[in-house]
A and B are shown apart, each in its own frame.
Chain A
Amino acid sequence: QKEVEQNSGPLSVPEGAIASLNCTYSDRGSQSFFWYRQYSGKSPELIMSIYSNGDKEDGRFTAQLNKASQYVSLLIRDSQPSDSATYLCAVLNFGNEKLTFGTGTRLTIIP
């Protein structure tokens, strides 16, 4: 079983709609959760971090965390073509510095 799982997509969303990206993780001791965006040919770029249950909003982005269900999600409101990228979920395990990445979800925003 993979430690961090994401649907690889591709996920196609019309421009202006809400894009919903999901991630599950297996280690109940995980404490910190991050979403990275990676454009083709570029490096991963941190866009959101979340540490406690509930929602965290930053502009058009909302991260949601449910530790009981071991589930973290990213919502992108008013999707723009520039949001088209691969989104990587990353989980930091308690007691060490290692980030475990999911394989990423490829998102395409259709104009």
Chain B
Amino acid sequence: KQEVTQIPAALSVPEGENLVLNCSFTDSAIYNLQWFRQDPGKGLTSLLLIQSSQREQTSGRLNASLDKSSGRSTLYIAASQPGDSATYLCAVSGNQFYFGTGTSLTVIP
């Protein structure tokens, strides 16, 4: 069974700092990996999707990388803002979606 781990579970940074969130998975046979954002009491919003054949995807201040062979993905957030405060989840798509438990990010003004 696929297991997805996200470290750290919580992260607090001052505004303006660049940061990296980590996601690791145990089975490299995936179709793609997706990063989501979840605000308190809300559903999930898709941020970036990386196909298994790709190495990275970028959207604005976000950059996600994928190393399928080592079972790792990172989400890089540049110049963090208080509005980035949320929980970030990664999910890998194989025969079904498997989600990590998320990293709770707080950006301090």
Instruction: Tell whether A pairs with B.
Output: no
Measured CB to CB, the residues of B under 8 A from A are none
Measured CB to CB, the residues of A under 8 A from B are none
